[in-house]
Amino acid sequence: MNSEDQLVERTGQAIPSGSSGRASDRLRLGIGDDAALIRPSAGTECVLTCDQFLEGVHFLANAHPPDSVGYKALVRATSDIAAMGATPRFFLLALALPAGRTGAWFDAFLRGMGRAAGQMGMRLAGGDTTKSARISIAVTVLGEIARGRVVSRAGARPGDLIYVSGPLGPAQLGFELVGRGVSRLPEFRPLLRLHLYPKIRLELGAWLARHRVPSAMMDISDGLSTDLTRLCRASLVGARLQAGRLPRVRIPAPLARRLRGLQFDPLQMALHGGDDYELLFTVPPSRAGQLQRAPGFRELTPIGEITRNKNILLVGDDGAAKPLRPGGWDPFRRK
């Protein structure tokens, strides 16, 4: 039998939490009470975000391994903490499951989430578990940052350089491989990795905030075209991107031959593909030199610059500039 209380108990055993004998001075009451009690560190501010990960919308329960669902649900929620330059500390898990997913599926899900929590140094502080026809996951993350150091979306200024922290498109490629039913072939497995187990840029985000390098920052979760539009709107500016500069997905030649019939366009995936969780940030030219000391410096790529004109333009290899419309993930856009 699986009562709600038993599911909560299994969760507390599988994921580093306040109930597993690792209670610390800062997490004073964890899962199992009405609410978590957290004592903030001196001189810090709290950063709070939440994110949903839903069966049939964000993942397919029969195509995506359950440990990937648990891993990714926590990592993608935590990416918004990286995007502010903060350090994640605690999370809450609101979970709704069909009764048929409370056995082996749930254990594998918890293993994946526990692994992600361990890698990112986070602890489960509470949550809510209930039943539903489809799996629904909402993760709330609490992070902290030294006072006055947060980097918002709203500070980009004309002339600032626009950077991304790594290749754009790998997650979209993995998503397409799953969608087209070829993901079970072993040779494609390396191409699925970032779709199933995304990496986020916690160390880089915290470094950038600590050294006050960026004027604005966010993570790319819905695709560059959509998220750059959001950053520019918040900063009341525009942007001019160089198509030739965009770091794209690289597919080893033998695999590329096998994928040729499937018509992947690396530029389109870089512009509109979601789920990569790379950082998008802007840097005044006078501070760009400091980036050489940033963690992961080699992967940082300048892709354009911020403009006073509020349009978002994409400059092609022929030098012609065309408007770039938000074409990333929007669940409510009509196809």
Q: Which residues bind a copy of itself (CB under 8 A)?
A: 1-5, 7, 28-29, 32-40, 45-52, 54, 56-58, 80-81, 83-84, 86, 90, 92, 94, 96, 99, 102, 125-128, 130-134, 136, 138, 140-143, 145, 147, 150, 152-154, 218-219, 230, 234, 330-334
Least distance in Å: CB of 240 to a copy of itself?
A: 22
Nearest-angstrom CA–CA distance, 331 and 13: 35
Among the residues of 145-212, which ranges form H helices?
170-179, 189-196, 202-210
* Residue type (1 letter), 123: R
Which of 103/244 has CB closer to a copy of itself? 103
Nearest-angstrom CA–CA distance, 333 and 335: 6
The tokens describing 122, both together, are 């986070």
Residue 30's nearest CA partner among 12, 42, 48, 47 is 12
Least distance in Å: CB of 34 to a copy of itself?
A: 4
Which of 120/249 has CB closer to a copy of itself? 120
Cα atoms in the 13 Å half-sphere on the side-chain side of 219: 27
Which of 2/20 has CB closer to a copy of itself? 2
The tokens describing 324, both together, are 């770039």
Which of 166/266 has CB closer to a copy of itself? 166
**DSSP per position, 220-239:** -SS-HHHHHHHHHHHHT-EE
Nearest-angstrom CA–CA distance, 58 and 29: 32
Which of 85/167 has CB closer to a copy of itself? 85
Nearest-angstrom CA–CA distance, 277 and 300: 14
Least distance in Å: CB of 43 to a copy of itself?
A: 11
Which of 141/162 has CB closer to a copy of itself? 141
Least distance in Å: CB of 221 to a copy of itself?
A: 9
Least distance in Å: CB of 320 to a copy of itself?
A: 28
Nearest-angstrom CA–CA distance, 289 and 274: 29
Which of 89/240 has CB closer to a copy of itself? 89
Least distance in Å: CB of 178 to a copy of itself?
A: 19
Q: Are strands 87-97 and 44-54 parallel, antiparallel or unpaired?
A: unpaired
CA angle 135, 47, 157 (to 5 degrees): 110
Which of 71/91 has CB closer to a copy of itself? 91
Least distance in Å: CB of 108 to a copy of itself?
A: 19
Which of 138/178 has CB closer to a copy of itself? 138
Nearest-angstrom CA–CA distance, 307 and 321: 13
Least distance in Å: CB of 326 to a copy of itself?
A: 8
Nearest-angstrom CA–CA distance, 141 and 120: 12
Which residues, at least 6 apart from 185, have a Cβ–Cβ distance to it below 8 Å? none
Alpha-carbon Rg of the chain, whole angstroms? Answer: 21
Least distance in Å: CB of 66 to a copy of itself?
A: 18
- Please count the other Cβ atoms lying within 10 Å of the Cβ belonging to residue 174: 25
